[in-house]
Amino acid sequence: MTRLLAFVDIFVDSPHMDDVVNALSQVPNMEELYEVTGEFDIVSLVSAADIEEFRDILKNKIMKIKGVKSTVSSVVLHTHKGPRSLENGKRVTSTVST
């Protein structure tokens, strides 16, 4: 079964950035976590079994972290390219060689 994926953009009260990042990294459903420049302070990718689990993660885990001011979420409808994309019904994983 395909899991729901959502990008969660997070606004953080600046003095709490390190604490917020540490707390978010402990959330089991946090697939990816980036501190970024621009409009948001953090961009993350969250996975969930369904929309109800996603709501619970957002409401009871992410939003309860001290220093998180607000979030903007975008649910992934289809992955066209990236580590979670499908090609001929099979998951495609990318590797990077150095």
Query: Domain coordinates of the chain in residue numbers?
Result: 4-91
| Cα separation, 97 vs 2, whole angstroms | 28
Name the CATH topology of 4-91. Alpha-Beta Plaits (3.30.70)
**pLDDT tens, position by position, for the chain (98 residues)?**
678 999 999 999 999 999 999 999 999 999 999 999 999 999 999 999 999 999 999 999 999 999 999 999 999 999 888 877 655 444 444 344 44
Decide: helix, strand or coil at residue 16. Answer: helix
pTM here is 0.83
| Cα separation, 92 vs 85, whole angstroms | 6
| Cα separation, 68 vs 56, whole angstroms | 16
| Cα separation, 85 vs 89, whole angstroms | 9
Cβ atoms of 21 and 42 closer than 8 Å: yes
